[in-house]
Structure 1
């Protein structure tokens, strides 16, 4: 790897005329200079295209592509296909970088497939960043996972790591070698991307530097508007993990356990947002949970309490949604009350012939 490798910064753009200038300006002021910025207009209906073209006309390192509206996954994939750098970096068009983001990530490179900085959820007011909280990150701060035993995915199941695509430096040859692309036609695509990249990566590094500010005050964000499409996408992600990886000799165990982690996420979502979801989709959910069920067996990859919890939720997912609603709770199993709840579910399942 050369000393100052080219970094391809991929920015999907859709109806972000209010935010895109601040985003691009945060790239332009980077203290690391060997970058290209690939701006992709995904069929915007506002002035996004005109704004990003004005930046392209003034900065040779900026390239603009435009397409009909195909969604975030297809747009990021177009960025991957057109990237020339040794590294890839995804930046959302309503977020901004710290001035030293790219230099901090590149300088910490040690033959890693993926390097991640700290993402801070923030609001923006008159050019001022108002920091709210950091997205879930390893407690060690700077740490490297050899990842030959899927340590990153296991850590995610145990204590939580935020499964986002942005604010990570990816080796382009790692992405190309494994033919990794975002799944089109869904939302929450980062969940599947995170699983696949962390499944296949070696030497995953997290650094204790704040490199990325994630905007939480964008009312047009998908996280602010939820419904059937969100749950349908979660279901498809679970199905993809099971269908693509649970029959693979090396990945069977981790895929089966991680599919339960995804179940945990979308069951919590479905219960919380039940009033916004159709009865038809709830029926689809019940059928998918049964079709994707895989017994977890006796080989534990998690701590004792969490292993009990995951196995219990896996069995509970075979019940109808009303029953799941009644008994479900989120892990970690870190209190006596949650341990009691776990055994309460187990007792119910045994009483109903599902031991």
Structure 2
């Protein structure tokens, strides 16, 4: 393993001018300097392109690719194809990295001879990020697991299912031809991460929250409902099932839970956005599925809170969705006020 490997960070950019500078400042301000940053401008009609070109003119580590709009999956793939780093990470245009994000992950990889480094969760923020304290940094523990175990943990939703918050060996991505699947509008990051994990022998898990994920107001969801997002969430689970390499009873049980969980997420979206009457067929079919297979949560190695989710959907899916959405909004408001 190289002592000072080149790390590539890839982001798709579309109408990102509001938070793009904050993201770029955090990326280019890393205490680990051997980085390559590839920002793919996906035909943004706003001022994103100008911001990217301005920053690229100041730092030659930043490479900007301008292209016609084709969606986030294709844009990320374009960035991956243009990358030259020993490790590749995916970030979002409106998120923020801790100043030691890259050095932390590189340290995990090198100290544990691993192919992928990740942390299970991130700092979710609305306006201000929260950096780890010195005590948190000292208490951090690294654990090496197999790629199969990491994939299983993600299927049980013990790991953030997004593609960010992970650093993956270039060899896995290129030699195994792991890419974002263009047919998915939602669930594409989940599928990408599972595929990466499936091809890894050694995966190292840290605990620090070095990725800061910007969240929007959940109350605004009604104006953003997209039926194809719901359908993609469910369809991506079938793709994930099909790409599983070692279909052991353990991982198939985990997949069954994930499939049920994704249906519940889709149902929560329908109810939370108040579109039950607009899409009665989807409302009934997805709700029935959530109710029928709620028992998948009962025997799963998940938290008591997740098991309670299963109980609620077994009793009444609509009631479950209303309760879950209520507490989700309440949690957001509490965190935003703190």
Q: TM-score range by the shorter chain?
A: 0.7 to 0.9
Partner of 1:112: 114
TM-score (norm 2): 0.75
Residues 29 and 268 (structure 1), Cα distance of their counterparts in 2 relative to 1, 3 Å cut: closer
Q: What pairs with 1:272-311 in structure 2 (closer than 5 Å)?
A: 273-274=270-271, 275-276=274-275, 278-282=279-283, 285=286, 302-303=300-301
Runs of 4+ in 1 over 3 A off after TM superposition: 130-133, 153-159, 221-224, 242-245, 280-287, 300-306, 322-331
**Contact preservation (8 Å) 2:10, 2:38:** yes
1:208 is paired with a residue whose SS is coil
Name which of 162, 167, 176 aligns with 2:160: 162
RMSD over aligned Cα, in angstroms?
Answer: 3.8
SS of 1:115 mapped into structure 2: strand
Q: Which runs of 5+ in 1 are unaligned?
A: 134-139, 317-321, 332-355
Q: What SS does the aligned partner of 2:162 have?
A: coil
Residue in structure 2 matched with residue 23 of structure 1 by the alignment? 23
Which structure has more helix as a fraction of its residues?
Answer: 2
User: What are the ranges of 5 or more consecutive residues in structure 2 without an aligned counterpart?
Assistant: 133-138, 325-338
CA shift in 2, pair 1:63/1:132, >3 Å: closer
* 1:106-255 mapped onto 2 (5 Å cutoff): 106-109=106-109, 110-117=112-119, 119-124=122-127, 129-131=128-130, 141-147=140-146, 150-156=148-154, 160-185=158-183, 186-217=185-216, 225-245=224-244, 250-251=246-247, 253=249, 254-255=251-252
Partner residue in 1 for 2:255: 258
* In 1: Cα distance, 2:264 partner to 2:113 partner: 38
Which has the larger strand fraction? 1
Tell whether the 8 Å contact from 1:43 to 1:67 is kept in structure 2 after alignment.
yes
CA change 1:158–1:44 in 2 (3 A) is: closer
CA contact (8 A) 2:146 2:203 kept: yes
- 1 CA distance for matches of 2:51 and 2:320? 51
Q: Is the 8 A contact 1:16 1:48 kept in 2?
A: yes
1:102 shift after superposition: 0.9
Aligned residues: 300
State whether residues 42 and 68 of structure 1, in contact with CA within 8 Å, keep that contact through their aligned partners in structure 2: yes
Look at both structures and tell me which one has the larger radius of gyration over its CA atoms. 1
Q: Which position in structure 1 is the counterpart of 2:81?
A: 81
The alignment partner of 1:41 has SS state of strand
